[in-house]
Structure 1
Amino acid sequence: MCGFVGAVWKAGRAPIDRSLFEQTTQQLAHRGPDSSGFFFGEPASPDGSHCWLGHRRLSIIDLETGQQPITNEAGNLQLVCNGEIYNYQSLRQDLLSRGHQFRTASDSEVILHLYEEHGPDCLQQLIGMFSVAIWDQSRSSIFLARDRLGQKPLFYANLSDRLLFASELKGLLPFHNGPRELNPHAIDLYLRYQYVPHTTCIYQDVHQLPPAHYALIDDSEVQVQRYWSAPYRQQVTATPEFKRQTQEELRERLTDAVKIRLRSDVPLGSFLSGGLDSTLITGLMAQELDQPIKTFSIGFGTPEFDESSFAQLAAKSLGTEHHQRTVTPQIEALLPQLAWHYDQPFGDSSAIPTWYLSEETRGSVTVALTGDGGDEVFGGYDRYRAMLLATWADRFPSPLKKILSAKLWQRMPGSIQYRSTARRLKRFLSEMNSSPVDQYFRWISIFRDEQLAGLYSTEFQHQLPSEDPSDFLTDNMQDASDRDLVSQIMASDLQTYLPGDILTKVDLASMAHGLECRSPFLDHRVVELAAQLPREWKLNRKSGKKFLKETFCDLIPNEICERPKMGFGVPLDHWFRNELRTLAEDILLSDRMENRGMFGKEGVERMLREHQANTHDHAARIWSLLMLELWQRTWIDTPQTLPQPITL
């Protein structure tokens, strides 16, 4: 696992400072603590281009000779890569038979020779997670690509005088001339989705390359092309015999996905929360290895957020060497680190336990397998079952829906706790008069339209485009447009929530500690099979991930198989009424925040007051605003070329 920085500019244009380029590459040392490498390419002709590549390496495969950048036999191509190619050995043998010569034993060099052989079509042959950049000196062009599910990030800026690209945004900023201009639309989307979608970027003139896309960039144009999509429209025949055959196929594919992710020249283990997905992945690992697996989990003192007992149960059942740590988060010390490592505002508070879990795991191993992707691929979220109920309730006559969604029911007594049944029921009933898609968008939104209307300043509202913020959700439902609504939602989550939230969270938290995370559920062969399954095989109104449970019931203790989904969270609601109350008020009600002109102070005060009075649970909203403000203090307010974490 690694990080890279790149810059291309025409001969005669303003040069980039070499010392600053090297310093910027070193700023990504957390992604690659083992070594660094550089390529400083000069123009091949008077009208040619400079290309500089910087790379930081976390050594996983080929510890001795796998340094980057890597060049081909002719010396006209240069590659930097962040990621792992799991089927590199078979690809390498085929390329050798075609006459290609290898200088290393690394998986990354395979991509370079595949590109020589097939151009952009080489991506179709790769099984892995990656972001990659290839400089073609003969054409003065850059090829950028990102893996199918978006496990590895990639940002670029095609400016008037230079092209910049990097694994993290902080790798672009020192060379982006002019002020760091914020994108109001990205801020609005962040406050709804709790992450900045890949259709935009927090900065003007900077882009995120979407998952399953590549970009070819030369002097004349930028061509961005999608190269893969999950085959949701190819639904399999829902017969008992075919179901049995498909379960056998899934078992083969997921087992192989785990097996090829065990290739490593450094110590390896797994995350084990005690949930279905991590338990299953660890169980499949145990079948492939002849020694106990090192497994890792963390616990909290708050029972409703502590899965420790289930993690211990899974570890005992699978015979793992389990490492468990009970965490008392030092939030005031952690907040500046999160604001620095998460280059864009990031509002998912489960970044906190992910951070501590990555820190604990890196103390023993360098690679960890995870259960990420199981919920999106096999239908594990409670909200999918709520959507089933919503589609059923949508058939009610309009007068009945109006009665059930009336504000009267919202005044009935009930817990305001985020995970309480009463709160979920109230939220469900409040949306019954909306279409199921509108309901879903409001369910997943951190802030809703009416809440933002009472929060935004008039000036900021005028800066927002007329685009519907739900378009990001609905546009990504089109891959499954001929399927049922729940399948459409799952197809959208696979392309939106999974890469934008879950995978961003895991990548940046794990890379902050030099830990590589591998996700077998996100092997595209597994995803392609799951996409074709009928919805009723995956979930009904009572249970999710049915197909997964039935296929692997022998590997999962019954107590884990039947337990409700818990999630990976922290007691934010309690913290903002106690330990973090003063900190939140000092930052969110500061003149510094008010003077940015985004939010009216009255709206922020009202939200904090309602949370303190226990009449509303605004914890996720307070956290999102807090992370936005701390992010701006880190990346916008500082005059430094290479900002560092701030001090609270």
Structure 2
Amino acid sequence: MCGIAGIVSSNRTERIEEALVHQMCEAIVHRGPDDEGLLARNNVGLGMRRLSIIDLSGGHQPIFNEDRSAWIVFNGEIYNFPELRPELEAHGHHFSTHSDTETIVHLYEEMGADCVQKLRGMFAFALWDDRRQSLLIARDRLGKKPLHYALHNGKLYFASEIKSILTVTPELAEVNRAALMQYMYLGYVPDPATAFSKIHKLPPGHLLEFQHGELRVRKYWDLPEYGTHASMSEEECLEEMEARLAEATRIRLISDVPLGALLSGGTDSSTIVALMARASSRPVKTFAIGFRQADFDESQYARLVAQKFATEHHELILEPDVVASLEKLTSSMEEPFSDPSILPTYFVSCLARQHVTVALSGDGGDELFAGYT
């Protein structure tokens, strides 16, 4: 993952100091250990921390258009950038990198804020248009990438994590009591609220435009209504689902760094591993954790799946210090979090990071297929 942050003042005579944006980025170094990019020009400052995945040597951000009138910082991955790039080149755009990030800035030149409609992937980005003196920030359709903002004293602050905003505006650390009540009821703080009254989440499938001191948030995507698609037989539905899952898995294997999968042995992660094995010419690297207490241990199921698909399997049996682990994890969380899966997810991610930079998982399967009902 990467992280982005920045400040835009509605006062064009005000100067945003690069050191202030650097301070915001320092708060999220853990999101991007490979590189930092900063640019402060007059009343605008953009910054990012990068975990290099694509175009390792040439993807330094911010990235500009040809005349440097538009610049972008980006967190995520655009899976259809290989298809978008030749279309943009045919319209006369010249690329200076091989990065998916640059695709967005040229697409913006063609379509303005509606460029998000053509992006397929997970993303949070901020794009400054110097000609229009406007900032566009956007978040992917399902909100895989986080993005927060606050309007304070005529300046818009934005960042991947709340701590970046609080680092430079500690006065905004005012507890949102209504949001905490929602947390007690739901187990999480729903968008667009955060645990802090004056800081907001940009909801999934939304974009925000900030120009001349005016802030506008609008939805650009929503789930299709029931009945939108023609009815199909059960067999046709299964065939369509397999084809879509296979394609979704295949396009996520585009990477210039080592890639693997988190494997629990359950239906969702096992399906992903099966589709990765089908699409890959090399053994898939898989990662699983187990526990000495038999009641909690499911590592044998992960082992069976790994054997079935001949993966390069890595396994770690845990005897975790729960208290110490929770203290470490809660210090990095910015809002109350009630899902106990944070612990096994953390440990299997630590294991995977020893071998790969990117890992696919089965997260989201329960939500999509009503697994909790």
Under a length normalisation based on structure 1, what TM-score does the superposition of the two structures give? 0.56
Structure 1 position 171 matched with structure 2 position 164: yes
- Matched residues in 1 for 2:223 and 2:201: separation? 20
Q: 1:201 to 1:270 in 2, by over 3 A?
A: same
CA contact (8 A) 2:18 2:45 kept: no
1:286 aligned residue = 277
Post-superposition Cα deviations, 1:586-635, rounded to whole Å, max 9, x if no partner, equal xxxxxxxxxxxxxxxxxxxxxxxxxxxxxxxxxxxxxxxxxxxxxxxxxx
Deviation at 1:343, TM superposition (A): 1.5
Among 313, 332, 340, which residue is 2:331 paired with? 340
Shift of 1:29: 1.3
Q: Which residue pairs with 1:139 in the alignment?
A: 132
Cα distance in 2, alignment partners of residues 236 and 85 from structure 1: 26
Amino acid at match of 1:155: H
Specify the SS of the correspondent of 1:173: helix
Partner residue, 2:97: 104
Say whether 1:25 aligns with 2:18: no
Give RMSD over aligned pairs.
1.6
User: What's the CA shift string for 1:218-252, capped at 9, x where partnerless?
Assistant: 12422111111121322555553xx3333322222
Partner of 1:36: 36
Alpha-carbon distance in 2 for matches of 1:71, 1:237: 43
Aligned position for 1:271: 262
Displacement after TM superposition at 1:139 (Å): 1.8
- Measured in 2, the distance between the counterparts of 1:61 and 1:198 equals 30
Deviation at 1:16, TM superposition (A): 5.3
Contact 1:198–1:209, Cα closer than 8 Å, also in 2: yes
How many matched pairs?
372
State how far apart, in whole Å, the 2-side matches of 1:325 and 1:203 are: 38
Deviation at 1:208, TM superposition (A): 0.1
1:362 — aligned with what? 353
2:193 is matched with 200
Distance 1:206 1:60 in 2: 30
- Indicate the residue corresponding to 1:562 in structure 2: none
Q: Which residue of 2 aligns with 1:583?
A: none
Alpha carbons of structure 1 residues 214 and 252: separation in structure 2 relative to 1, 3 Å: same
2:246 aligned with 1:255, yes or no? yes
Q: d(CA) in 2 for partners of 1:93 and 1:103?
A: 14
- 1:292-347 deviation per Cα after TM superposition (whole angstroms, max 9, x unaligned): 11100111233332211111111111111111111122233223321222112212
**Are 2:85 and 1:64 aligned?**
no
Q: Deviations over 1:5-59 (max 9, x none)?
A: 100112455x6554343133122111111111111112xxxxxxx1111111100
Deviations 1:144-170 (A, max 9, x none): 100001100000001123110001111
1:77 to 56, 62, 70: 70
* 2:2 matches 1:2: yes
Give the aligned partner of residue 309 of structure 1: 300
Cα distance 1:103–1:171, how it changes in 2: closer, same or farther (>3 A)? same
Judging changes above 3 Å, is the alpha-carbon distance between structure 1 residues 237 and 53 closer, same or farther for their aligned structure 2 residues? Answer: closer
Q: What is residue 482 of structure 1 aligned with on the other side?
A: none
Question: 1:464-479 residue pairs with structure 2 within 5 A?
Answer: none
Question: Residues 195-234 of structure 1 correspond to what in structure 2 (within 5 A)?
Answer: 195-234=188-227
Q: Please state if 1:91 is matched with 2:84.
A: yes
Change (3 A) 1:135 1:309: same
Q: Going by fraction, where is helix more abundant, 1 or 2? A: 1
Is the partner of 1:53 in helix, strand or coil?
strand
Does the CA contact (< 8 Å) of 2:18 and 2:38 recur in 1?
no
Aligned pair in 2 of structure 1 residues 363, 113: CA closer, same or farther (>3 Å)? same
- CA separation in 2, counterparts of 1:191 and 1:309? 36
Structure 1 residue 193: Cα displacement? 2.0
- Report SS of the residue matched to 1:82: strand
Cα distance in 1 for residues equivalent to 2:303 and 2:341: 21
The reply to whether residue 52 of structure 1 matches residue 45 of structure 2 is yes
- Contact kept in structure 1, 2:18 and 2:39, CA below 8 Å: no
2:289 and 2:299 in contact (8 A); partners too? yes
Check conservation: 1:16, 1:175, Cα contact below 8 A: no
| Within-5 A mapping of 1:320-399 | 320-381=311-372, 384=373
Which one has the largest radius of gyration?
1
Structure 2 residue ranges without an equivalent (≥5) = none
Change beyond 3 A, Cα 1:355–1:32: same
SS of equivalent to 1:174: helix
Q: Distance in 1 between matches of 2:94 and 2:161?
A: 32
| Residue identity in the other structure for 2:188 | Y
Letter in 2 for 1:34: D
Q: 1:119 to 1:310 in 2, by over 3 A?
A: same
Of structures 1 and 2, the one with the larger relative CO (CA 8 A, separation 6+) is 1
What amino acid maps onto 2:41 in structure 1?
G
Deviation sequence 1:462-486 (CA, Å, 0-9, x none): xxxxxxxxxxxxxxxxxxxxxxxxx
Q: Does 1:124 align with 2:117?
A: yes
Provide the rounded CA distance (Å) in 2 between the counterparts of 1:368 and 1:87.
19
* TM-score, normalisation: structure 2: 0.95
Structure 1: state its 5+ residue gaps: 43-49, 385-648
Q: Cα distance, 1:113 vs. partner?
A: 0.8
- Name the SS of the counterpart of 2:93 in structure 1: coil
8 Å CA contact retained: 2:16, 2:40: no
Paired with 1:39 and 1:16, the residues of 2 have a C-alpha distance of: 10
Shift in Å at residue 361 of structure 1?
Answer: 0.5
Name the SS of the counterpart of 1:164 in structure 2. strand
SS of residue in 2 equivalent to 1:81: strand
Contact 2:23 2:168 in 1 (8 A): no
The equivalences for 1:392-407 within 5 A come to none
Partner residue in 2 for 1:157? 150
CA gap 1:335/1:247 in 2 versus in 1, 3 angstroms: closer
